[in-house]
Amino acid sequence: MALQEFVSELESLCTAANEAFSKAESGDQLEDGRVEFLGAKNGRLKSAQKLLGSVEKSDKPAAGQKLNQIKKAIQAAFEEAKSRLVNAVEDDLDETFDPTLPGAPIRMGRLHPITQTIEELKDIMGRLGFSIEEGPEIEDDWHNFEALNIPREHPARDPLDNFYLATANQNSGQPLLLRSQTSTVQIRVMENTPPPIRIISLGRVYRPDTADRTHYPMFHQMEGLMIDVDVTMADLKTVLRLFATNYLGEDVRIRIRPSFFPFTEPSVEADYYWNGKWVEFGGAGMVDPNVLQSVGYDPETVSGFAFGLGVERLCMRRHSITDIRDLFTNETRFLHQF
Ligand code: PHE
């Protein structure tokens, strides 16, 4: 290669490098340029250096000198671009920022009282041998009513008492609703598992009630279900009492009184005593043979009990909360007390 050609090759390389470095607007762009021109492996300067071998022997000293000169020029252009970018970053720094000031304290979050209650209920029932199950909050007719022995014309299905969805289940055509009770989970569990069964299910339920001190259109229930041979009402009373004394205290007074639910026979309502009054904490009873049949169990060989307790009421009694709405307005000054 002729000296002249080699020199002009180097000069256009230098121009290109200068342009790339002066155009760089970020560290990344500058680094791309560095790799392209000064890269130790495949950099363009490196490639130019290789051409030196093909220059006439007599021209080599001059060519070598030129190469060094260009190399220095490219490196200088790189350094210049680098300090230009560093200065730009420093100019951007907020001068009022004092890194030696102590930081702002971080306020610790905490679990919502209902979440705390749920955790504790799971714990107590777990020690009594009940495992946890879950079910969907959007339910179909079968699980919320039909399988629970609540027939077509039953007033419990009234659209005024339930949050029906505007759309039905696409496959079955069944109406859908926000579940009004966790008893739906009883059916889901029994449909999928043979007896014996000992489960609880904790979750949200929805009813179009006007909010007041004791009502809210969404609340939580703890459903319990135990199925085995020879399960009796005595077992139900024992579990309810053990549960109440564990959660509310040894001295809590509870009572059960006759009631009616389509899915239990006999049915009871369980109350505890608070502030001079009996307060209902849930419904319960022996699982109705019709329900056992609807999930394919044989009512002649197995029996069982079920209960559904209001989680908010338990939590309120425990913490002396007098208005259920306080639990859901998310006023942090209220929530921070728990
Ligand atoms: N599902 C009933 C309710 O929401 C409570 C209940 C559960 C009653 C299980 C009996 C058995 O009121």
Query: Which residues 6+ apart lie within 8 Å of 282 measured at CB?
Result: 221, 222, 269, 270, 307, 308, 309, 310
Predicted confidence at residue 27, as pLDDT, reads 87
Please identify, by atom number, the ligand 1 atom nearest to the C-alpha of residue 225. Answer: 9
Please identify, by atom number, the ligand 1 atom nearest to the C-alpha of residue 307. Answer: 9
Spatial distance between the Cα atoms of 248 and 235, rounded to a whole number of angstroms = 20
Q: Which among 261, 265, 269, 290 is the best mutation to test ligand 1's pocket, defined by most ligand atoms within 8 Å of the CB?
A: 261
Determine how many CB atoms are found less than 10 A away from the CB of residue 88.
11
**Interval 102-119: pLDDT, tens:** 988 888 889 999 999 999
137 and 202 in a single domain? The answer is: yes
Place of tokens 């006999």: 266
Domain final residue pick, 63, 92, 121: 92
The domain total for the chain is 2
Nearest to 158 by CA among 225, 210, 104, 207: 207
Which residue is closest in CA terms to ligand 1's atom 4?
181
Please identify, by atom number, the ligand 1 atom nearest to the C-alpha of residue 305. Answer: 11
137 and 186 in a single domain? The answer is: yes
Please indicate, yes or no, if residue 99 is contained in any of the structural domains: no
Please indicate, yes or no, if residue 143 is contained in any of the structural domains: yes
Domain final residue pick, 62, 92, 122: 92
Place of tokens 């639990």: 327
Predicted confidence at residue 236, as pLDDT, reads 97
Long-range pairs, 260-269, Cβ under 8 A, ≥24: 261/285, 262/148, 262/149, 262/150, 262/151, 262/154, 262/156, 262/288, 263/148, 263/149, 263/150, 263/183, 263/186, 263/287, 263/288, 263/290, 263/291, 263/306, 264/288, 264/305, 264/306, 265/289, 266/233, 268/236
CATH number of residue 229's parent domain: 3.30.930.10
Find residue 287's DSSP bridge partners. Answer: 264
Is there a contact between 145 and 156 (Cβ–Cβ < 8 Å)?
yes
Please indicate, yes or no, if residue 105 is contained in any of the structural domains: no
The domain of 16 spans: 3-92
Place of tokens 């496959």: 171
CA of 296 to the centre of ligand 1 (A): 21
Spatial distance between the Cα atoms of 146 and 186, rounded to a whole number of angstroms = 13
**Interval 54-111: pLDDT, tens:** 888 899 899 889 999 999 999 999 999 998 888 887 777 777 888 888 988 888 889 9
Query: Which residues 6+ apart lie within 8 Å of 170 measured at CB?
Result: none
Name the CA dihedral angle for 122, 282, 206, 212, rounded to a multiple of 10 degrees. -110
CA of 264 to the centre of ligand 1 (A): 8
Please identify, by atom number, the ligand 1 atom nearest to the C-alpha of residue 183. Answer: 1
Work out the pLDDT band at 154, boundaries 50, 70, 90. Answer: very high
Tell me if the pTM is above 0.75.
no
54 and 174 in a single domain? The answer is: no
Q: Which among 130, 148, 181, 227 is the best mutation to test ligand 1's pocket, defined by most ligand atoms within 8 Å of the CB?
A: 181
Q: What is the mean pLDDT of residues 286-310?
A: 97
Tell me which residues have their CB closer than 6 angstroms to ligand 1.
Answer: 181, 183, 261, 264, 283-285, 306-308
Please indicate, yes or no, if residue 223 is contained in any of the structural domains: yes
Q: At residue 144, what are phi and psi to the nearest 5 degrees?
A: -85, -25
Spatial distance between the Cα atoms of 21 and 32, rounded to a whole number of angstroms = 9
**Interval 240-271: pLDDT, tens:** 999 999 998 888 899 999 999 999 999 999 99
Please indicate, yes or no, if residue 121 is contained in any of the structural domains: yes
Which residue is closest in CA terms to ligand 1's atom 7?
308
Predicted confidence at residue 237, as pLDDT, reads 95
Which residue is closest in CA terms to ligand 1's atom 12?
283
| 61 burial type by CB count under 10 A (0-12 exposed, 13-18 middle, 19+ buried) | exposed
Predicted confidence at residue 108, as pLDDT, reads 84
Structure tokens at 199: 């489960």
Find residue 284's DSSP bridge partners. Answer: 268, 307
Predicted confidence at residue 23, as pLDDT, reads 92
| 89 burial type by CB count under 10 A (0-12 exposed, 13-18 middle, 19+ buried) | exposed
Domain final residue pick, 92, 126, 141: 92
CA of 319 to the centre of ligand 1 (A): 24
State how far the alpha carbon of 201 is from the alpha carbons of 125, 271, 327, in Å: 10, 20, 21
122 and 84 in a single domain? The answer is: no
23 and 136 in a single domain? The answer is: no
Which stretches of the chain are assigned E, i.e. beta strand?
A: 131-132, 138-140, 163-164, 176-178, 197-206, 218-228, 254-261, 264-274, 277-287, 303-310
Length of the chain: 338
211-244: burial string, b at 16+ Cβ within 10 Å, e else: eeebebeebbbbbbbbbeeebeeebbbebbeebb
Please indicate, yes or no, if residue 97 is contained in any of the structural domains: no
Please indicate, yes or no, if residue 101 is contained in any of the structural domains: no
Please identify, by atom number, the ligand 1 atom nearest to the C-alpha of residue 224. Answer: 9
CA of 183 to the centre of ligand 1 (A): 6
Please indicate, yes or no, if residue 317 is contained in any of the structural domains: yes
Please identify, by atom number, the ligand 1 atom nearest to the C-alpha of residue 186. Answer: 9
CA of 285 to the centre of ligand 1 (A): 8
